[in-house]
Amino acid sequence: MSDVRIIFMGTPEFAVPSLDALVAYGCPIVAVVTAPDKPQGRGHKILPSPIKVAAEQYGIPVLQPTNLQSPSFLEILDSYEANLYVVVAFRMLPKLVWNKPSLGTINLHASLLPQYRGAAPINWAIMQGELITGLTTFFIEETIDTGHILLQDKEPIYEMDTAGTLSERLKYRGANLLLETVQAIASNNCKAVPQPTVVLHKAPKIYTEDCQINWHQSTAKVFNFIRGLSPYPGAWTVLNNIHTKILLAHPLPIPTCSPGELCSDNKNYLYIGTQDGAISVEQLQPAGKKLMDIQSFLRGCLKRVI
């Protein structure tokens, strides 16, 4: 490992266990690249990324470029003389960057590539009703998520998993897989294989307008849609003429109301009809309000219109 010099690139909380694992093992991380500080939360306070916070705790130099192709940034990268770049949940890199290190640039991706290439693999795997997903380490190449595979690890998707619960498990399993990959590269014992050619499910970035619930779909599809978008960005519908995210729900296979129809006792439950059943809403968040359970919502928001 002494012959390896690593620059780690990442931004969100998902990447932190990977950085932790590399540091704990003693991998020589000479710098960390992450996104610039930005406004977050309701108060729009300027805050650092989770990776920046972790890197500063370890005393690792932090770079926060706004332009990954700027000559000044490329010169700084060169000054660290790194021979391996490690990427976890970062932005798309230009070839000028990923082609620099002699040992290559590796990425940790939260799917079993080549399935679910793209920015939101965890969300899409759940929305598509998958029962198994996993993690892949691979060498970055010019086309996104297409490089030669190094290692993979499978992970089940449980019936009540959300994108949040699945991500929590994958970020730790991914850290272990990434460390194993770096160890194999350092010992020259890692074989890279081309990705198989198969029919692909894609995982493109998800926008707010993509998250509206279609109640005319089957109960299973609506249920998977809700949990695949929870807690972020959040599947939404309109209740009381208010844009409302539904973040926790359960499927009801027996039809109780027509698609999109609300059925409630005004105290304990709210069912919304689907094509072949209904969804029992458990937690939701109207625009501009805090997350609330269904009983709180019924007491304060919905009873007057049902």
Q: pLDDT > 90: what percent of the chain?
A: 88
Tens-digit pLDDT profile for residues 155-207: 999 999 999 999 999 999 999 999 999 999 999 998 999 999 887 899 999 99
Tens-digit pLDDT profile for residues 286-302: 998 999 999 999 987 65
Tens-digit pLDDT profile for residues 120-139: 999 999 999 999 999 999 99
Q: What is the mean pLDDT of residues 81-106?
A: 97
305 has a pLDDT exceeding 60: no
Mean pLDDT of all residues belonging to the chain: 94
Q: 252 has which bridge partners?
A: 278
Q: pLDDT > 70: what percent of the chain?
A: 96
What is the C-alpha to C-alpha distance for residues 295 and 5, in angstroms, rounded to an integer? 54
Helix-, strand-, coil-residue percentages of the chain, each rounded to 5: 30, 25, 45
- CB burial of residue 231 (10 Å; 0-12, 13-18, 19+): middle
20 has a pLDDT exceeding 90: yes
Residue 42's pLDDT is what?
Answer: 67
> Which residue type occupies 109?
H
Tens-digit pLDDT profile for residues 225-278: 999 999 999 999 999 889 999 999 999 988 878 999 999 988 899 999 999 999
Tens-digit pLDDT profile for residues 23-55: 999 999 999 999 999 887 666 789 999 999 999
Tens-digit pLDDT profile for residues 51-65: 999 999 999 999 999
Q: Give the pLDDT band of residue 303 (cuts 50, 70, 90).
A: very low
Q: What is the mean pLDDT of residues 222-227?
A: 98
Residue 197's pLDDT is what?
Answer: 86
Residue spans of the domains in the chain: they are 6-186, 208-305
What is the C-alpha to C-alpha distance for residues 145 and 30, in angstroms, rounded to an integer? 25
What is the C-alpha to C-alpha distance for residues 98 and 90, in angstroms, rounded to an integer? 12
304 has a pLDDT exceeding 50: no
| CB contact at 8 A, 137 and 117 | no
306 has a pLDDT exceeding 50: no
What is the C-alpha to C-alpha distance for residues 127 and 223, in angstroms, rounded to an integer? 8
State the alpha helices, DSSP H only, in 242-298: 294-297
Domain 208-305 CATH class label:
alpha beta
Residue 1's pLDDT is what?
Answer: 66
Provide the whole-model pTM.
Answer: 0.94
3-state secondary structure of 30: strand
| CB contact at 8 A, 56 and 34 | no
78 has a pLDDT exceeding 70: yes
Whether 6-186 shares its CATH topology with 208-305 is answered no
Torsion of CA 228, 229, 230, 234, to 10 degrees: -160
CA 53, 54, 58, 59 torsion: positive or negative? negative
What is the C-alpha to C-alpha distance for residues 74 and 32, in angstroms, rounded to an integer? 14
Residue 285's pLDDT is what?
Answer: 96
Residue 251's pLDDT is what?
Answer: 96
Which runs of E-coded beta strand occur in 25-104? 29-33, 38-40, 45-47, 62-63, 84-88
Task: Note the CATH number of domain 6-186.
Answer: 3.40.50.170
